[in-house]
Chain A
């Protein structure tokens, strides 16, 4: 065993194609912000997009915002339901936090003394930033959604150049990056994130705009379905997040919970409670919810004459224990809760939201997307279906997708490319950005500071197509 691997000391060969310039990849999404160095396989910095506001204090990161003891803590999210930035000030701060806390030289000290969390030190931090900008040595590659407005795009280059002092910048589409992450330049990308599900075709690293389809059938929609399931089930499931429980005793399945609740001497905001409920729901989604994977659809009848739902009911269920100790077996419901993704008639009604339309379901989006591109590309696209985004980790998702697509295009060869590793699926677009940012041939693409100063912020629209 050689003490020093030879490869690391050698120059990168042309075939390998990598030439790292310590670029930083920032991939903001509705539920989380991913940031890290190009060339690495996972983002070093991963933070929830939700941030807390207590009085005039802003609190970032999972470590701090789940604290019910902070008075008047309001939880907010800088992103809109479409996955584009709404609140630029908060987004800038959040991203800066994600970058400087783990990646660049503003080392985080003890949270009590580093000044990020208390008001007085904030001023000092600002002063420090004036002298030294956080990204002066690092080119920044940011991702955006395909439907980002050009005003937003200009805003992001402004922040990168003016606030952070990047020497170079690039704005890439997250679906394209996801395709790159799966090693494809031409692909049909199916991306199910937290707020939006999108399907689009990518040809040679360029989005085909006529094929862009999006809907809200994503993680948050599944959560709303789960809530609806809890509300309508017999007996009604009371969703009580962890922070409210002070003690619990184990109970039998189906029995009412026996727990003592925590008392707080201040009012807990609704947004905080919603965030904490969401955590329980994600746990439920991860461990119980399952996609019915055929044959056919859940509500149709099997060729043998037995409705599919009956077959599912015969399968063993799954037990889920809520924070208050109550637990229950989930049978066919665990599948019907996500059936709306595929069949709009199977969606559970959610109060205050319009019913799902057919065009919002995933098979319809795929169909619309495919029919929006040139005939000659379709076969290649169907052979390179890239599935990415955290919501696609629902059990049985890819199998069902494959079934649906084979039914839709029986003559075509369909190959679904879904990363096996959880991290690669969740951070698909970040990984693609990491690959792109570390390529030697990408150096000529960056929008440099000089170009920004010469052409202004509109250069981003001209260059990043």
Chain B
């Protein structure tokens, strides 16, 4: 007879929760005391008197350890983060072993070598700020708002203050260079032309810096070759929007200058919102549970286990524990598992080990429910790709898969080529070879990414067009040649007619008419064919 059976008989709740661990003894084993000490201890009864041991010695005496005092020396060290080789001294424990006696001269040398580097030199990290040449500036970095001189100044500040823009803005004191006057009146003119330096906002400076930095970055390394961190930085810098930043700051400023009443009102509105959201959540959950209850499939298991009183009692306890566990888990699980049919199965499986099979048979719903739960959980576990990653991996989404089902991109590329006749294929391959793209139906593209595939598709399409056009040109040239021949013939005949009689002339006229007719029909046939091809 196990405790389980006893509980069963006494209608006690099952061991849903782990048993509380044994009460820890509050007081450790009492020291065995003798004589008066024990009497004193006993005065306290169950609550032992706290007797703090008296510490008579404040500090152990040094010589008790019999160890000589540790020796320290002020050891010189340098810091490799410095350029000037400043040597400072700090206190370091002397090595216990006495140095081997050496000749004085040697000892000196050793000392010089021994100067160690500071362990803190490695913390000397610098922000990487791009540099540009004059040429690059003139080609790519010109800006109406910023002169090169001022851009240089901004970059020097960025370097000086490690891109802390609030500080850069605070210390920004740009003075445009004073033009060197060559003559007296020229200087006056220049003085009139000097515009007072603009007051730059943080956003102006950021926008300028980011645009220059992004351009220089792209110049040094085309975006395709960047690794993902660099690419992200490049994107972020490219997408900086000063107007939006300014608007955000303006908004933040107005929020900052709220009065006390406004602040209080906002607080109360936020509270209200929280309450409304909580109520909506609760309502939704209740509704979901209701639906789950309504959808619970009718049990078609046998009712044999419940015909005895023991069985009924078990059912009651089962339901009770299911209810309880539901209460506990409400917050943890979604509404789907809340249906009474699956409740006990999923949450209280452990205690029922012994009768698991019967329980499952009797009250679990169709297995579809469980599967549904599994499938609904899986998608959340899958890693979500960001938009950018999707672009990199060439992920595209379709509403549904076409009739042919999923296919490899490679096949998609090959298809238009394979559908052509052998002659056509040969021609296309020739053109590709001409373009320096070694390709045939049997070899593959070197890197069939989505973008490459699209490019290749476009290329094939234009090659087709090219071939068609070439065919047409050939045909037209043939026709032109025929027409020219006909004309030459006619001219020859006319010349002969001028020489010969009228009869001959009439006969020739018929001949010309005939030949003209023939050429017209040839032309129409050609145009028909070309029209067909175009349509195709």
Contacts and interface: CB of A to CB of B under 8 A. Distances in A.
Given A440-B120, A443-B79, A168 B86 contact: yes
Given A1-B59, A203-B167, A19 B260 contact: no
A411 interface: yes
Contact of A206 (B93, B120, B164): B164
- Secondary structure of the A contact surface, majority rule: loop
A203 to B, nearest CB: 5
Nearest to A440: B120
A374 B123 CA distance: 29
B119 A443 contact: no
B171 A411 contact: no
Contact of B120 (A11, A19, A379): A19
B166 A208 contact: yes
Contacts of B166: 203, 208, 373-374, 376-377
B84 A451 contact: yes
A200 B120 CA distance: 31
A9 B169 CA distance: 46
B143 interface: no
Interface string A224-260: 0000000000000000000000000000000000000
Interface string B71-88: 000100001011011101
Contacts of A4: 65, 70
B93 to A, nearest CB: 6
B161 interface: yes
Contacts of A80: none
Interface in B50-92: 59-60, 62, 64-65, 70, 74, 79, 81-82, 84-86, 88-92
B256 A412 contact: yes
Interface string A442-465: 011010111100100000000001
Interface string A170-200: 0000000000000000000000000000000
A444 B80 CA distance: 8
B170 A168 contact: no
Contacts of A1: 59-60
Contacts of B260: 407, 410
* Residue among B91, B170, B256 with the highest chain A CB neighbour number at 10 A: B170
Interface in B77-126: 79, 81-82, 84-86, 88-93, 118-121, 123-124
Nearest to B250: A375
A4 B72 CA distance: 14
Contacts of B60: 1, 3
B252 interface: yes
A278 interface: no
A3 B61 CA distance: 7
Which bucket holds chain B's interface residue count?
Answer: 35 or more
Contacts of A412: 256
A351 B224 CA distance: 76
Interface string B247-278: 00100110111111011101000000000000
A139 B88 contact: yes
A454 B84 CA distance: 10
B70 A444 contact: no
A376 B121 contact: no
A19 B118 contact: yes
B249 A376 contact: yes
B202 interface: yes
A273 B40 CA distance: 67
A410 B258 contact: yes
A336 to B, nearest CB: 26
* Residue among A373, A375, A448 with the highest chain B CB neighbour number at 10 A: A375
B152 interface: no
Interface string B146-167: 0000000000000011001111
Contacts of B169: 374
Given A21-B90, A412-B256, A3 B64 contact: yes
Interface string B116-143: 0011110110000000000000000000
Contact of A410 (B86, B119, B252, B263): B263
A446 B118 CA distance: 14
Contacts, number: 114
Contacts of B64: 3
Interface residues of A, number: 46
Nearest to B201: A374
Given A9-B70, A14-B119, A410-B263, A206 B167 contact: yes
Interface in A1-53: 1, 3-4, 9, 11, 14, 17, 19-22
A23 to B, nearest CB: 9
A345 interface: no
Contacts of B202: 374
A137 B89 contact: yes
B84 A448 contact: yes
A375 B252 contact: yes
Contacts of A465: 160-161, 171
A440 B170 CA distance: 29
B120 A21 contact: no
A284 B123 CA distance: 50
Contacts of B171: 209, 465
B263 A444 contact: no
B86 A20 contact: no
Contacts of B255: 411
Given A374-B202, A443-B118, A203 B86 contact: no
A204 interface: yes
A105 to B, nearest CB: 14
* Residue among A19, A209, A451 with the highest chain B CB neighbour number at 10 A: A19
A17 B118 CA distance: 11
A378 B119 CA distance: 36
Contacts of A206: 161, 164, 167
A167 B249 contact: no
A210 B79 CA distance: 35
Interface in B364-389: none
Contacts of B256: 375, 378-379, 409, 411-412
Contacts of B164: 203-204, 206
A451 B85 CA distance: 10
B82 A21 contact: no
A184 to B, nearest CB: 16
A21 B84 contact: no
B122 to A, nearest CB: 9
A443 B167 contact: no
B125 to A, nearest CB: 11
A439 B85 CA distance: 18
B167 A376 contact: no
B160 A21 contact: no
Interface of B: 59-60, 62, 64-65, 70, 74, 79, 81-82, 84-86, 88-93, 118-121, 123-124, 160-161, 164-167, 169-171, 202, 249, 252-253, 255-260, 262-264, 266
28 contacts: A3-B60, A21-B89, A22-B89, A168-B88, A203-B167, A204-B164, A206-B167, A210-B170, A374-B165, A374-B169, A375-B252, A377-B166, A378-B256, A407-B260, A410-B258, A410-B259, A411-B256, A412-B256, A440-B118, A444-B79, A444-B81, A444-B82, A444-B118, A444-B120, A446-B86, A448-B86, A450-B85, A454-B84
Please name the 5 residue pairs, one residue from A and one from B, whose CB atoms are nearest each other, closest first.
Answer: A440-B120, A410-B260, A448-B86, A444-B81, A21-B88
Given A443-B86, A443-B88, A444-B79, 13 more contacts: A3-B65, A19-B120, A21-B89, A167-B88, A203-B164, A208-B166, A375-B249, A375-B253, A376-B249, A407-B260, A409-B256, A410-B260, A412-B256
